[in-house]
């Protein structure tokens, strides 16, 4: 017989096995478990004696049989295997449960993310649709505004063109009136003809006609009348009109009756080199006037071209005249047809065709090959 404190690990496990209790654990755990079982049975664990002291003595004295030892080891091995199996099953169940939980959690998270993504895509699609709708509305308003502005500008341009046409007509009338008045006031006192004793008269110069032509005529008259330098200067001063008379302001008073100085000043302002620039400027800006026929336009352009490029090659002059004529035309249809033409020589004769398109006369420009 032996008390609880005297049992070894093998004996403790045998006693626990007898009572169908768990036999795993170290000696302290086994003692505590067996003590608790004795207390539950109403026994005093410190005084209770267990059978098996003889076995203990046998083991201690070496009389414990090999069969008994093998039986004990087999029992312990079976118990350990059972414990390992139970632990493995519990661990497998725990891992399976954890994997199931992870799978369920992953599925829930995936579903939640899928729903969130669907919701985001839906909201973004709705937002983009609304933005596209707003952009379309804005474009529609912009188109309407642009159309209104184009209409307004077209109306304004048409009014300006009409106003310019009226003003051009008024200016032409005023110029013609001034020309008539100047023509009537061109008579002036001139030096006496020494042979006849009569007062001589020469035409006025206002800067509009060619200075070279006027100077040739003036020199011819002065030579035929035998004028000296002072008489020539006096006659020339009295013949100046308008802007031409302003040349006198650029000459010192003591040189007013110096004929050479007067001629040099007029050459500088109205000479061939100066007039070329004026004629070329007029040619570049020449446009068909209201009421002006294309025959009149063509003749004036040929005149300005000849004055602008008197020494140029005739072919170059013809091409310049034709390009300027096309640019100056008011009729867009005629302008387009001439632009498509491959001929580059302008004839001064322009004839209207008998046909009509869109209530507009079709003009045919007679062109010759160079």
What 3 state SS string does the chain have? CEEHHHCCHHHHHHHHHHCCCCCCCCHHHHHHHHHHHHHHCCCCCCCCEECCHHHHHHHHHCCCCHHHHHHHHHHHHHHHHHHHHHHHHHHHHHHHHHHHHHHHHHHHHHHHHHHHHHHHHHHHHHHHHHHHHHHHHHHHHHHHHHHHHHHHHHHHHHHHHHHHHHHHHHHHHHHHHHHHHHHHCCCCCCCECCCCCCECCCCCECCCCCHHHHHHHHHHHHHHCCCCHHHHHHHHHHHECHHHHHHHHHCCHHHCCCHHHHHHHHHHHHCHHHHHHHHHHHHHCCCCCCCCCHHHHHHHHHHHHHHHCCCCCHHHHHHHHHHHHHHHCCCHHHHHHHHCCCCCCEEEEEEEEEEEECCEEEEEEEECCC
Position 235 in a domain: yes
Same domain, 253 and 208: yes
Same domain, 311 and 252: no
Position 178 in a domain: no
For residues 108-145, b (16+ Cβ closer than 10 Å) or e, as one string?
Answer: eeeeeeeeeeeeeeeeeeeeeeeeeeeeeeeeeeeeee
Same domain, 265 and 301: no
pLDDT of residue 345: 56
Domain-terminating residue out of 270, 287, 312:
270
Position 229 in a domain: yes
In order of 127, 168, 188, 230, 233, the CA distances from 240 in angstroms are 81, 27, 11, 16, 11
Same domain, 200 and 231: yes
Same domain, 261 and 212: yes
Most distant CA pair in the chain, distance: 191
Dihedral Cα 323, 324, 330, 336, nearest 10 deg: 10
Same domain, 262 and 283: no
- What is the Cα–Cα distance from 260 to 265, expressed in whole angstroms? 9
- What is the Cα–Cα distance from 143 to 163, expressed in whole angstroms? 30
Position 286 in a domain: yes
Position 133 in a domain: no
Position 45 in a domain: yes
Position 140 in a domain: no
Same domain, 341 and 256: no
For residues 348-361, b (16+ Cβ closer than 10 Å) or e, as one string?
Answer: eebeeeeeeeeeee
Same domain, 329 and 262: no
What total number of domains does the chain contain? 3
Position 177 in a domain: no
Cβ atoms within 10 Å of 255's Cβ, excluding its own: 15
Same domain, 309 and 251: no
Cβ atoms within 10 Å of 362's Cβ, excluding its own: 15
Domain-terminating residue out of 99, 116, 144:
99
Per-residue pLDDT of the chain (370 residues; tens, 9 = 90+): 677 777 888 888 888 888 888 888 888 888 888 888 888 888 888 888 876 544 444 444 444 567 777 877 887 888 788 888 888 888 999 999 999 999 999 899 989 999 999 999 999 989 999 999 999 999 988 999 999 999 899 888 989 988 998 888 888 888 887 777 666 544 433 444 444 444 556 788 988 887 888 888 899 989 988 999 999 999 999 999 988 889 899 899 888 899 999 998 888 888 766 677 778 888 899 999 999 998 899 899 998 888 888 788 888 888 888 889 989 998 888 888 877 766 555 553 344 443 333 223 333 444 443 3
- What is the Cα–Cα distance from 131 to 92, expressed in whole angstroms? 57
- Phi (first) and psi of residue 87, to 5 degrees: -65, -40
Q: Which of 191, 274, 306 is nearest to 238 (CA)?
A: 191
Same domain, 290 and 261: no
Token pair listed for 40: 């539950």
For residue 349, the enclosing domain spans 277-367
Same domain, 193 and 208: yes
Same domain, 40 and 64: yes
pLDDT of residue 287: 93
Domain-terminating residue out of 270, 291, 325:
270
């Amino acid at each position: 017989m032996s008390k609880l404190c005297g049992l070894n690990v093998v004996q403790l496990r045998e006693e626990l096995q007898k009572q169908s209790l768990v036999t795993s654990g170290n000696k302290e755990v086994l003692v505590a478990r067996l003590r608790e079982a004795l207390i539950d049975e109403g026994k005093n664990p410190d005084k209770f004696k267990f059978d098996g002291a003889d076995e203990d003595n046998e083991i201690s004295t070496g009389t414990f049989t090999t069969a008994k030892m093998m039986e004990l080891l087999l029992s312990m091995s079976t118990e350990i295997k059972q414990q390992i199996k139970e632990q493995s099953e519990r661990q497998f169940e725990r891992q399976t449960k954890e994997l199931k939980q992870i799978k369920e959690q992953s599925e829930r998270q995936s579903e939640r993310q899928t729903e969130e993504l669907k919701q985001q895509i839906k909201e973004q699609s709705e937002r983009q649709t609304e933005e596209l709708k707003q952009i379309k509305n804005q474009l529609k308003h912009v188109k309407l505004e642009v159309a209104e502005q184009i209409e307004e500008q077209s109306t304004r341009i048409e009014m300006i063109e009409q106003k310019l046409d009226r003003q051009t007509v008024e200016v032409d009338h005023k110029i013609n009136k001034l020309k008539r008045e100047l023509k009537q006031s061109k008579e002036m006192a001139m030096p006496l003809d020494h042979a006849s004793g009569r007062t001589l008269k020469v035409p006025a110069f206002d800067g509009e006609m060619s200075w070279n032509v006027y100077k040739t005529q003036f020199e011819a008259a002065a030579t035929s009348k035998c004028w000296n330098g002072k008489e020539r200067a006096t006659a020339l001063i009295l013949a100046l009109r308008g802007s031409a008379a302003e040349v006198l302001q650029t000459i010192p008073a003591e040189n007013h009756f110096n004929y050479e100085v007067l001629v040099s000043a007029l050459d500088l302002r109205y000479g061939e080199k100066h007039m070329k620039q004026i004629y070329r400027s007029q040619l570049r800006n020449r446009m068909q006037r209201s009421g002006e026929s294309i025959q009149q336009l063509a003749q004036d352009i040929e005149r300005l071209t000849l004055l602008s490029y008197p020494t140029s090659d005739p072919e170059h002059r013809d091409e310049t005249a034709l390009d300027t004529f096309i640019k100056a035309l008011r009729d867009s249809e005629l302008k387009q047809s001439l632009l498509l033409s491959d001929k580059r020589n302008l004839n001064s004769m322009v004839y209207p065709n008998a046909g009509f398109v869109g209530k507009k006369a079709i003009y045919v420009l007679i062109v010759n090959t160079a």
